[in-house]
Structure 1
Amino acid sequence: MTRVLSVQGVARLEVIQALCLQTLTALAACKPNVAWMTIGIASRLVSCRALRSDENSNDKDRSLRCRWSVFCLEKIFSPHMSIPAKYLDGLEYPSSAPLPPLLTSAGAGDKVAGLYDSDEAVTDLGINSYYIQMISVWGDVATWLHDIKLGNDEIPWRPESGHTKLSTRYYEFERQLPHMHLLRNVSFTTRTASEIFEQREYWTSWVLMQILFHAVPATINHPFIHLVAVRRSTKGPQSHAFLQQTVDLAIFHSAWVFRILQCSEGFGLEITSPLVGHLVAILAIVPCLFRFAVDEKVSNRAVKDLKWCQDYLARASLIWPHMSQKLDLLRNLQHIADHQRSNHEGGNTIMFQPSLVWALLDPEICHMNTSNEIPDESPAVPEARLRVTTRFTHPLTEAQQEQQPAPSSNFITDENFSFDPDELEQLYLDDLFFHSNPDPFFGL
């Protein structure tokens, strides 16, 4: 019945809601073409509904949730063809779950003045609004990746580049995010599993927002993009300072995604959405490459992270079978890199098929399936060669590093990456970047 009504252009709320559910059902059944067409129909019906002025005030929040749900589905699964966010300017966001009560230990009396303090009041639009905004940013990142895949070259450090524009948009979002939703203030890791469960509507949106918040910079600074995909655009030497920055940010933020998901799992709040699975597959390429770093702590940490990513995708594939294709692609990439590498001073050089990486970075929804088929590689496209190094600029000497004072609460320098939740809540960005040189994994 839903199909009949939608084809007839019946833009009732329940019809669009049913189409959203059918989209996810089609994805779970590995029918990507059906999912893609269903999203398109829902989007057109939402546009028709937006032209109506007889909206029932009692259905306002349901209608907002419906419109934004369609927007998110488009941004996630067909970002190249989605309705631009500017056409939704002025549209209210759906209501959000309230902010969980502050813990006593996170009260104002325990705050340390500095990074998160601000005299400027920021209006809180609700956690759902910030999650939606990050999905919108991610949709633009996905479009940028697709353009690069198609050969849209750019010099990424220039102001007109897509990389610079996306970075600016990301910084603008971060600037406007109310401090009350920051990790330090919500005390996520110091809460009990029962607290997380009772407030799971808020925490689910918060975790998803945090994952995207770190996945966006990790992706736009992805080592494959800057060390392989756009190198031909520079027509000469690349900026080593820029490369140092991109690799630092990619490893830093990808590690945050893995840690947040692991912490959520510890609370029984396992997130296995298609979007998160896609992000994990993209970011898993980072540890897959840095397993070959010269520093043992870097490579050991990368091996553990890659294993966790593969385990996560295996679990996610039980709910979303097309995730098994991502897992197979990742394993194929790992296998090829393991058997096609050579050692050089300052790093290892590996060779691999770019199509394998692109299949993870920019998958076509119509090609989603449960097989482990490797994408075809054109004979005209040579294998990519990448030297895995963590240093593009001159590092501090060992003597200088030894003079650094031992960190008092740096959870990321522990070899096993274990951490005290109380220390995590008190962490500042200054702490993280101060430890970037002595720490072997993040000090690139």
Structure 2
Amino acid sequence: MPPTNPGLEPLTRHACEPCRYHNIPPTWYRDAYLMIDIDVIIYQEAGLGLTVEGRDEEQPPRYLLWSFMSLMLNFSTHNFFNGQESTAAEFYSREAEQTVMEESSEGVPAIELVQALCLIALKHLKSTLKALRLLSYECLSTPRDHAQTRSYWLVHALECLFVPIKTTTSDFQVPDYPDLTLIPPLPDSSGTEEAAQDTVHVTGSSTTEIDRVGIIAHSLRIIDIWGELTSYLHTLRQGKTEKPWSPDSIHMRINLELIDFEAKSPKKLFLCNAYLSRRTRDEVSRYPEFWNRFMVGQLMWHATHAILNHPFIHLSLLASQGSIPPSCFFMQQRIDMAIYHSNWTFRLLEMFDNLMDIVDPMIANAMAGTATVSWLFQFSKDQEIAQKAQNNLNKCEEFLCQVAQTWPHISQKIDALRKLQALARENYRQCSSQGTTISFQSAWFWDLLSPRPSFGANEARAPGLRGETKSEISLKNHFVLPLHDGLGSEPGNPLVGLAVDPFLVMPGELELFNIDSLSHDFFQSGLWDPI
């Protein structure tokens, strides 16, 4: 760019700004020619075949000059603009893009049009790179803008929903959760002192900062953990396995994050302090900003636990790692947790569904994945476990049909679930008193747990993904039946191992666990055999 021209006086501020910006300094025509010619030479050397002739005689189109000015005002200036470079750049950018769009719609090829498009693209690239550069620096003295923080977590939540791969790089500093806090509303129908001690009405005059809870940070963190689980499931479907009880395993890391999430949750966000049974749909609808996030926190915490401890996942892991000795105790813990959290997931879904309209596709994905846990346990010989599992499946299908009215892609999950239920009716005939060998299409499980990206209805499945063959899984009754005689367990207790403290078992009682039979039967060669 040329130095400031002292002979060119700036226009008065009283002149119409758009009019004065049309009067581009004469010397800038020459510089525009030179810059555009340089760009053309570069593009020509790159093989684009652009040539320009007669630049000294021709006057470039206005839109080409405006494109050039909108870019160069980011790097240089002239006293013509009287300190209003940003306003002028915005004007030139707007005028150039509008005119170029109109010219492009005519369909007439022109070299100047291509040049203008390239200049506009460079201007946008410059703006994008500047924004990325600002994000890469940590401003210790200046707090991060609240809108910027909310934007980051909004995009991150969308990635957790739609992208099964973690995209955050190690050199990018993740911003803190938004600090917006809300006050848990007191039930309209509650007059108890207990409720008054735990909650304060949103409109109450006695509101203090201690009454507030970070409900947004609470819900965002569980969404973040859910994103890690979906990424984990994606790697499992690709065939990348691990020893799940290893301290440095992904399974253990997610499990610890769930425990830490529960431990750090404010007391006011405990389910027992929500008093859902005392609330009405109208009451909940008055505070959607609180109850929607509370619902997400409760449902996603239990659903993430249920899927993380899925018998299908851990049987697949154990069977695929021949060098890793299987752990019966670890498997028993997974069964206990899967039964417990899957039942709580659908119990809470029913409670919230009676109080609000839930059309969140992330919740639908979580419920569909949890339904595969219940699908396995419907084959239990314990009638209470089996009946609860079947009820859970019915609730899930009804809920997915409800969400599919807003999000049509959820209908694919409904189809997969119905296929599994049709297959379940065939499996009932194969159940025996010693155990249940369940035959199923593992691809249908994966379609509910970790669906592949869909690009077309008739497209073949992506290579490298598991679950393309018919499989069998041996779910022994040792793991799904409660222990009765001598241990004080009541029939139908869904928590198999929680009634027994392994550190308090006397040596003479060890035969009750039938360890030899358990190990031999459960980990036989036919555990996970493709057919």
**What residue number does 1:40 align with?**
none
**What residue number does 1:321 align with?**
408
Counterpart-to-counterpart distance in 2, 1:189 and 1:86 = 47
**What residue number does 2:442 align with?**
354
Q: Following TM superposition, by how much is the alpha carbon of 1:376 offset from its aligned partner in structure 2, in angstroms? A: 8.4
Deviations 1:156-185 (A, max 9, x none): 112122111111111112121111211112
Q: Confirm or deny: 8 A CA contact 1:261 1:270 kept in the other structure.
A: no
Q: Confirm or deny: 8 A CA contact 1:329 1:372 kept in the other structure.
A: no
TM-score, with length taken from structure 1: 0.70
Q: Confirm or deny: 8 A CA contact 2:237 2:446 kept in the other structure.
A: yes
From the superposition, tell whether residues 48 and 399 of structure 1 become closer, same or farther in structure 2 (CA, over 3 Å): same
Q: Confirm or deny: 8 A CA contact 1:148 1:230 kept in the other structure.
A: no
Instruction: Tell me the SS of whatever aligns to 1:282.
Output: helix
Deviations 1:39-69 (A, max 9, x none): xxxx999846636999xx9x94443322211
Q: Confirm or deny: 8 A CA contact 2:183 2:213 kept in the other structure.
A: no
Q: Following TM superposition, by how much is the alpha carbon of 1:260 offset from its aligned partner in structure 2, in angstroms? A: 1.4
Q: Confirm or deny: 8 A CA contact 2:440 2:470 kept in the other structure.
A: yes
Paired residue type of 1:199: Y
Gapped runs of 5+ residues in structure 2?
1-70, 72-127, 199-209, 502-531
Counterpart-to-counterpart distance in 1, 2:171 and 2:265 = 19
Aligned residues: 358
Instruction: Tell me the SS of whatever aligns to 2:224.
Output: helix
Counterpart-to-counterpart distance in 1, 2:266 and 2:183 = 14
Q: Confirm or deny: 8 A CA contact 1:261 1:271 kept in the other structure.
A: no
**What residue number does 2:452 align with?**
364
- Give the alignment of 1:128-139 within 5 angstroms: 128-139=216-227
Does 2:397 match 1:397?
no
Q: Confirm or deny: 8 A CA contact 1:64 1:94 kept in the other structure.
A: no
**What residue number does 1:440 align with?**
none
Q: Following TM superposition, by how much is the alpha carbon of 1:399 offset from its aligned partner in structure 2, in angstroms? A: 5.3
Q: Confirm or deny: 8 A CA contact 2:166 2:231 kept in the other structure.
A: no
- Give the alignment of 1:179-198 within 5 angstroms: 179-198=267-286
Q: Confirm or deny: 8 A CA contact 1:290 1:302 kept in the other structure.
A: yes
Q: Confirm or deny: 8 A CA contact 1:292 1:348 kept in the other structure.
A: yes
From the superposition, tell whether residues 335 and 47 of structure 1 become closer, same or farther in structure 2 (CA, over 3 Å): farther
From the superposition, tell whether residues 123 and 388 of structure 1 become closer, same or farther in structure 2 (CA, over 3 Å): farther
Counterpart-to-counterpart distance in 1, 2:421 and 2:178 = 42
From the superposition, tell whether residues 413 and 340 of structure 1 become closer, same or farther in structure 2 (CA, over 3 Å): closer
Does 2:392 match 1:305?
yes
**What residue number does 1:384 align with?**
471
Q: Confirm or deny: 8 A CA contact 2:368 2:448 kept in the other structure.
A: yes
Counterpart-to-counterpart distance in 2, 1:277 and 1:396 = 34
Counterpart-to-counterpart distance in 2, 1:220 and 1:250 = 8
Q: Following TM superposition, by how much is the alpha carbon of 1:228 offset from its aligned partner in structure 2, in angstroms? A: 2.8
Q: Following TM superposition, by how much is the alpha carbon of 1:345 offset from its aligned partner in structure 2, in angstroms? A: 3.0
From the superposition, tell whether residues 374 and 303 of structure 1 become closer, same or farther in structure 2 (CA, over 3 Å): farther
Does 2:157 match 1:72?
yes
Counterpart-to-counterpart distance in 1, 2:401 and 2:382 = 29
- Give the alignment of 1:213-252 within 5 angstroms: 213-233=301-321, 235=323, 238-252=326-340
**What RMSD in Å do the two structures reach over aligned CA positions?**
4.0
**What residue number does 1:345 align with?**
433
Which protein is bigger by CA-based radius of gyration?
2
**What residue number does 2:100 align with?**
none
Instruction: Tell me the SS of whatever aligns to 1:283.
Output: helix
Q: Following TM superposition, by how much is the alpha carbon of 1:312 offset from its aligned partner in structure 2, in angstroms? A: 0.9
Counterpart-to-counterpart distance in 2, 1:66 and 1:195 = 30
Of 373-382 and 79-88, more deviation after overlay is shown by 373-382
Q: Following TM superposition, by how much is the alpha carbon of 1:375 offset from its aligned partner in structure 2, in angstroms? A: 5.6
Q: Following TM superposition, by how much is the alpha carbon of 1:74 offset from its aligned partner in structure 2, in angstroms? A: 1.1
Of 210-219 and 83-92, more deviation after overlay is shown by 83-92
**What residue number does 2:7 align with?**
none
Q: Following TM superposition, by how much is the alpha carbon of 1:88 offset from its aligned partner in structure 2, in angstroms? A: 4.5
Of 171-180 and 78-87, more deviation after overlay is shown by 78-87
